[in-house]
Amino acid sequence: MNIRLYNARILTMEENKDIFMGEIWVKDERIIYAGNGKDTEGVYEKQGIPCMLWDKEIDCGGNLLMPGFKNAHTHSGMTLLRSYADDLPLNEWLNNQIFPVEAKMNGEDIYELTKLAVLEYLTSGITSVFDMYLTPETIARAFDEMGMRAVQVGAVNHFSQSPEMIEELYLKLNSGSPLQSFMLGFHAEYTCSRELLMKISDLAHKYKAPVFTHLAETKSEVEGCMERYNMTPMAFLNSIGMFDYGGGGYHCVHMTKDDIAIMKEKGLFAVSNPGSNTKLASGIAPITDFLKAGVPVALGTDGPASNNCLDMFREMFLVTGLAKLREEDAGAVDALEVLKMATVNGAHAMGLKDADILAEGKLADIIMIDLNQPNMQPINNIAKNLVYSGSKQNVKMTMINGKILYQNGVFLIEQKIADIYKKANEIIDKYR
């Protein structure tokens, strides 16, 4: 499909580039032009064609085009457990409510539930996700059928998955569909033995690959690690070479200065999940400390059982709002920095170097933001509007890999939406 998006405001998310009026040309899965529409000479020649026959030309009506949001930490299949158990202390929630149902879920259930999550991602302008869950192969199938770009990550722990299994997945899922990929990872320090962790570290060295994991989400997790190894989780994992080829941590709430220094030294990403950390009372991550230290911060929703929604607008408001509360400084964490977390940094954390900005040669993962809604008016400052007053309601179009999957409130996918809802309700009824 060749699509021309014109009469748009464009926020490319390139450094120091202001929003401008212009157009974006998409050929198949890539952007072949992003500019003011007056400097298009040579574009066709580069593509080896005399001119372009557009399949679609879309008048954006002055609305905003920007890179899709990158949800850099989620467990999509947990849609099943959205609002299944809330307003409970963390341990009771996890051990008495979440784990027992998860133990019953099979790969086909998770395939269906992942599709439900994708629908929500599309409404929130999310064009790729960093997903950790139980059955990566059925999950990859769901994402692929829905047209969703996804990077999955290993979830090794002492009761599911194994180093051997994630090595196999690493080789298999990185050589299949171009929309799907897989990274090394494990659930968390506190759910793995030292031996198990050593094997993951060996894999990281074997493949010279980054590793991701839940890191310092709660106080008790850090305290437990101190008891076991007399080190923080960050220091301990670093001591066994886990991050010698990069990677990063999800949550990163309870971090010492030394922990942050390690992240900087190893080039790690701090993936913040402020919605989940708020709802589960885990604490407020030290975002300004990461920024000061030069540690890139990305944003994720976490799974829908702990958030409970998959909405990057919530995460964007919270990551800066909670930093302001923590620092008692309304000037903490500027809106533009937040947009960078939600787009560029997320893409880089997930290894999607071509899905970060809107520019020639980049992947066409593009969203259109409706500025003709009351929450975006007047147009004083579009970046601030996005972060402080934006909502899912403003997502007018979500395009992934050059395909428009959601437009004006309608899902442009083959499957019947009502069937996806029906399946999810049938599955929870089965396990309730």
**What is the footprint of a second copy within residues 285-344 (CB under 8 A)?**
304, 307-311, 314, 317, 320-322, 324-325, 327-335
* Closer CB to a second copy, 78 or 184, in the complex: 78
* Closer CB to a second copy, 239 or 377, in the complex: 377
What tokens does 253 get? 């709430």
86 binds a second copy (CB under 8 A): yes
Q: Least Å distance between CB 323 and a second copy?
A: 9
What secondary structure, in 3-state letters, does the chain show?
CEEEEEEEEECCCCCCCCCEEEEEEEECCEEEEEECCCCCCCHHHHHCCCCCCCCEEEECCCCEEEECEEEEEECHHHHHHCCCCCCCCHHHHHHHHHHHHHHHCCHHHHHHHHHHHHHHHHHCCEEEEEECCCCHHHHHHHHHHHCCEEEEECCEECCECCHHHHHHHHHHHCCCCCCEEEEEEEEEHHHCCHHHHHHHHHHHHHHCCCEEEEECCCHHHHHHHHHHHCCCHHHHHHHCCCCCCCEEEEECCCCCHHHHHHHHHHCCEEEECHHHHHHCCCCCCCHHHHHHHCCCEEECCCCCCCCCCCCHHHHHHHHHHHHHHHHCCCCCCCHHHHHHHHHHHHHHHCCCCCCCCCCCCCECCEEEECCCCHHHCCCCCHHHHHHHHCCHHHEEEEEECCEEEEECCEECCCCCHHHHHHHHHHHHHHHC
* Closer CB to a second copy, 3 or 297, in the complex: 297
Positions in 188-247 near a second copy (CB under 8 A): none
* Closer CB to a second copy, 366 or 424, in the complex: 424
414 binds a second copy (CB under 8 A): no
The residue count for binding a second copy (CB under 8 A) is 74
* Closer CB to a second copy, 170 or 317, in the complex: 317
388 binds a second copy (CB under 8 A): yes
Among 119, 252, 339, 358, binds a second copy (CB under 8 A): 119
Please identify, among the stretches 69-77, 119-127, 180-188, 256-264, the one whose residues bind a second copy according to the rule CB under 8 A: 119-127
83 binds a second copy (CB under 8 A): yes
Q: Least Å distance between CB 423 and a second copy?
A: 9
82 binds a second copy (CB under 8 A): yes
CA distance 36 to 38: 6
* Closer CB to a second copy, 236 or 313, in the complex: 313
Q: Least Å distance between CB 337 and a second copy?
A: 9
283 binds a second copy (CB under 8 A): yes
* Closer CB to a second copy, 20 or 421, in the complex: 421
Q: Least Å distance between CB 412 and a second copy?
A: 15
409 binds a second copy (CB under 8 A): yes
* Closer CB to a second copy, 53 or 281, in the complex: 281
Among 110, 211, 284, 368, binds a second copy (CB under 8 A): 284
379 binds a second copy (CB under 8 A): yes
377 binds a second copy (CB under 8 A): yes
CA distance 186 to 191: 9
Positions in 161-180 near a second copy (CB under 8 A): none
* Closer CB to a second copy, 79 or 181, in the complex: 79
